[in-house]
């Protein structure tokens, strides 16, 4: 139930020796057509990894026939040599695919590249290129699970999702312990569909979907150099859904994967939804939710099972959203401990013993709302991010 569920795709994941653990670290997803349309969204970080710069160019061409992904190295902040290495990886991928059992009209310019791992070090090309060749040999119509495994870094579980529609489907795989716009623990996502759709329709569907899913999860507020979300369409189902139908299916898969990312975020002990209601605009709701999600004092309080609504209100106070301090209501797990900006229901009524926490903030300025998903700030987060370079 992953990238190879939609018809027209093969995938693989192999161990090339990039990870010291010996686990799978090179993945390949190949679109066998008949269509090769695609869309992509990339990190907003101005320091972009070589594979991001490369894949942005590939996407401009409008055709993606294969995606090659590696864990064990981000190839970010690696200068011109890093970019040459990405280019060589795409060239090699195209070459081995042209020589494979299903010869394709494929050039390097049709190959998107994704990398994840430590920033600032060159990739061991002597291991990566043979790994790409092995991945090409290992391509299978049910290879999506192996591919999802090969892109894991600090992930504890592989992440896949699929939605089935009448005669067509959307599948996806993801890795990441952080998040899109925010996440240094790079988020990589490959989505596939056997629907038939032009590049503009795919692009609109992907942007609609990421805006309300990956863009609304926030593990630690840190933006990666490598975040990439790709959507490839093979048209192999011969079904052409409407733009709305496609966007809805892609959003559903993205939502599923986003929740899996948050559930597996580094060191998290809480899965927190911040529901902002009564906002004057959606942008206000997102800003408030994101600001609360990034506040270390809120995050440590929740780790400590402390319903500290004062820290939430103080975080709201740092935003530019329309609100009056003496009108804001805050609930934690449905207990309205703050009404009109001051203490209301008894904080001891808030049960924070479970993993799931919902913070509801009513700005009482309008009808707009948004939900941001985040995690707490725990000892395990500090441990994981201080003990290992990543």
CA distance 374 to 313: 17
Q: Catalytic pick from 4, 37, 186, 375?
A: 186
> Does residue 186 carry a catalytic annotation?
yes
- Give the nearest distance from C-beta 375 to its own copies in angstroms: 12
Task: Report if residue 341 touches its own copies, rule: CB under 8 A.
Answer: yes
CA distance 58 to 38: 10
Q: Hey, is 316 helix, strand or coil?
A: helix
CA distance 85 to 98: 20
Q: Which of residues 287-316 bind its own copies (CB under 8 A)?
A: 295-297, 300-301, 303-304, 306, 308-311, 313-316
Q: Backbone phi, then psi, for 157, in 5-degree steps?
A: -140, 150
CA distance 171 to 190: 8
Task: Report if residue 184 touches its own copies, rule: CB under 8 A.
Answer: yes
Cα dihedral 247→251→254→258 (10° resolution): 150
Asked if residue 141 lies in contact with residue 10, where contact means CB atoms within 8 angstroms, the answer is yes
Asked if residue 186 lies in contact with residue 226, where contact means CB atoms within 8 angstroms, the answer is yes
- Give the nearest distance from C-beta 177 to its own copies in angstroms: 11
CA distance 220 to 353: 22
Burial environment of residue 22 by CB neighbours within 10 A (0 to 12, 13 to 18, 19 or more)? exposed
Task: Report if residue 367 touches its own copies, rule: CB under 8 A.
Answer: no
- Residue nearer to its own copies on the CB measure, 166 or 326: 326
Q: How far apart are the first and last CA of the chain?
A: 29
**Bond before 34 cis per omega within 30 degrees:** yes
Task: Report if residue 374 touches its own copies, rule: CB under 8 A.
Answer: no
Chain position carrying tokens 């009448």: 166
- Residue nearer to its own copies on the CB measure, 220 or 264: 220
Asked if residue 122 lies in contact with residue 81, where contact means CB atoms within 8 angstroms, the answer is yes
CA distance 223 to 186: 8
**Which helix (DSSP H) or strand (DSSP E) does residue 343 occupy?**
strand 342-343
Binding its own copies (rule: CB under 8 A), the pick from 20, 22, 348, 387 is 387
Q: Which of residues 209-238 bind its own copies (CB under 8 A)?
A: 220-225
Residue 165 token pair: 């529609």
- Residue nearer to its own copies on the CB measure, 164 or 389: 389
Count of chain residues binding its own copies (CB under 8 A) = 60
As a whole number of angstroms, the longest Cα–Cα distance in the chain is 70
Task: Report if residue 76 touches its own copies, rule: CB under 8 A.
Answer: yes
Task: Report if residue 198 touches its own copies, rule: CB under 8 A.
Answer: no
- Residue nearer to its own copies on the CB measure, 62 or 310: 310
- Give the nearest distance from C-beta 256 to its own copies in angstroms: 26
Q: Pick the piece of the chain touching its own copies (CB under 8 A) from 79-87, 233-241, 253-261, 352-360.
A: 79-87
- Give the nearest distance from C-beta 263 to its own copies in angstroms: 19
Q: Which of residues 102-121 bind its own copies (CB under 8 A)?
A: 118-121
- Residue nearer to its own copies on the CB measure, 231 or 337: 337
Q: Which of residues 120-179 bind its own copies (CB under 8 A)?
A: 120-121
- Residue nearer to its own copies on the CB measure, 273 or 288: 288
Task: Report if residue 343 touches its own copies, rule: CB under 8 A.
Answer: yes
Binding its own copies (rule: CB under 8 A), the pick from 140, 318, 355, 356 is 318
Task: Report if residue 338 touches its own copies, rule: CB under 8 A.
Answer: yes
Listed residue (381, 384, 383, 389) closest to 74, CA to CA: 389
CA distance 29 to 191: 10
Binding its own copies (rule: CB under 8 A), the pick from 70, 78, 260, 362 is 78
- Give the nearest distance from C-beta 230 to its own copies in angstroms: 21
- Give the nearest distance from C-beta 46 to its own copies in angstroms: 4
Show the binding pattern over residues 35-54: x = contacts its own copies (CB under 8 A), - = does not.
---------xxxxx------
CA distance 316 to 335: 19
Residue 33 token pair: 């057509």
Rule CB under 8 A: which residues touch its own copies?
44-48, 74, 76-79, 81-82, 118-121, 184, 220-225, 295-297, 300-301, 303-304, 306, 308-311, 313-319, 323, 325-326, 338, 340-343, 377-379, 381-383, 385-387, 389
| Active site amino acids | 186
């Amino acid at each position: 139930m992953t990238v190879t569920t939609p018809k027209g795709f093969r995938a693989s994941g192999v161990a090339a020796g990039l990870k010291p653990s010996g686990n799978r670290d090179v993945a390949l997803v190949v679109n066998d057509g008949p269509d090769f349309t695609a869309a992509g969204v990339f990190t907003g970080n101005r320091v972009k990894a070589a594979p991001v710069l490369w894949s942005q160019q590939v996407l401009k061409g409008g055709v993606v026939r294969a995606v090659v992904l590696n864990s064990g190295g981000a190839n970010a902040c690696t200068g011109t040599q890093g970019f040459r290495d990405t280019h060589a990886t795409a060239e090699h991928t195209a070459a081995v695919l042209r020589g494979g059992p299903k010869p394709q009209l494929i050039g390097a310019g049709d190959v998107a590249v994704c990398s994840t791992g430590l920033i600032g070090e060159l990739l061991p090309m002597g291991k990566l290129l043979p790994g790409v060749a092995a991945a090409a040999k290992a391509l299978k119509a049910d290879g999506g699970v192996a591919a999802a495994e090969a892109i894991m870094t600090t992930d504890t579980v592989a992440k896949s999702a699929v939605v089935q529609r009448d005669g067509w489907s959307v599948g996806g795989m993801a890795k990441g312990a952080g998040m899109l716009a925010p996440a240094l623990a790079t988020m990589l996502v490959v989505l596939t569909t056997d629907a038939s759709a032009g590049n503009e329709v795919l692009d609109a569907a992907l942007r609609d979907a990421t805006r309300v899913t990956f863009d609304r999860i926030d593990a630690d507020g840190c933006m990666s150099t490598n975040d990439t979300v790709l959507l490839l369409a093979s048209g192999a189902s011969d079904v052409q859904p409407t733009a709305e139908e496609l966007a809805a299916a892609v959003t559903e898969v993205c939502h599923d994967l986003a929740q899996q990312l948050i559930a597996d975020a580094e060191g998290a002990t809480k899965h927190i939804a911040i529901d902002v209601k009564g906002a004057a605009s959606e942008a206000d709701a997102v800003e408030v939710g994101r600001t609360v999600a990034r506040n270390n004092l809120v995050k440590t309080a929740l780790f400590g099972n402390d319903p500290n609504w004062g820290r939430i209100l103080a975080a709201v106070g740092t935003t530019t959203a329309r609100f009056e301090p003496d009108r804001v209501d805050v609930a934690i797990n449905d207990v309205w401990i703050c009404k009109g900006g001051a203490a209301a229901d008894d904080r001891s009524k808030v049960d924070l013993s479970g993993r799931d926490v919902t913070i509801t903030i009513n700005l009482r300025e309008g009808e707009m709302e948004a939900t941001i998903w985040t995690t707490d700030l725990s000892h395990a987060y500090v441990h994981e991010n201080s003990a290992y370079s990543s």
